[in-house]
Structure 1
């Protein structure tokens, strides 16, 4: 009757248990990553693109998380704005995601792997016909 397939039990105390879904960890990580200056968006692949076209906003788009009983490993796939230093953006993503997940869930984040999937030139860098200036 107790399904722990996609949940992590954080604490088993005298007053009960606390269960956090793996999806919650992915949402926290995704939101923290999008708050970093220089991140244009998340790269979620084909399934994420189809869901967005159908009007479903996926807050965990571009995030994969492996969550154990007390630790987590997170992979983030991002698109970086043109002109930003990728190393600095990636380091800020790692720091912000680690801090957000650890403070909100109590899990120890072992690693945050940042995968840059593309560079966004933004709407200001294109002419009317869609070519880059």
Structure 2
């Protein structure tokens, strides 16, 4: 691990540091861009923060950062009816590409943990109820 658990690079002008939370956000956004991902699954604290209006963009993401490499664990919820293996592979590819392009770190692994499946009919029913209440 690097100093203060931050990624850094030294240039002639000084140091460049990337906090692990930044990498978590990049990974979370890259994962949710993939079709078939319904969302990220996080901790109870993250869910409470969202209820209070503070969206946690690193929700469901854990990273280990070294000086030149990182590893990512993602906890996701997928849509019912998709091919889980194909979507998970696409998530791995998209997350790896996004982190490497944006930070210059080498991503040595992206582990995808599927913790749930959502059904679109339930979402539509919940939206209909919400709209009726307004």
Q: Secondary structure at the match of 1:59?
A: coil
The number of residues matched between the two structures is 124
Alignment partners' CA distance in 1, 2:42 and 2:11: 37
Task: Calculate the aligned-residue CA RMSD, in Å.
Answer: 1.6
Q: Is the 8 A contact 2:5 2:65 kept in 1?
A: no
The alpha carbon displacement at 1:5 in A equals 1.9
Structure 2 residue aligned with 1:98, among 96, 99, 106?
96
Question: Which is further off, 48-57 or 64-73?
Answer: 48-57
Instruction: Select the residue among 52, 58, 78 that pairs with 2:56.
Output: 58
- TM-score, with normalisation over the residues of structure 2? 0.87
Deviation per residue, 1:3-37 (Å, 9 max, x gap): x424211x212121111111000000000000000
C-alpha deviations, 1:107-126, integer Å up to 9, x for none?
A: 00000000001001122378
In structure 2, list runs of 5 or more residues that go unmatched: 130-134
Aligned to 1:47: 45
TM-score normalised by length of structure 1: 0.88
Q: Unaligned 5+ residue runs, structure 1?
A: none
Give structure 1 regions of 4+ aligned residues with deviation exceeding 2 angstroms. Answer: none
Residue 89 (structure 1) aligned to one of 81, 87, 90: 87
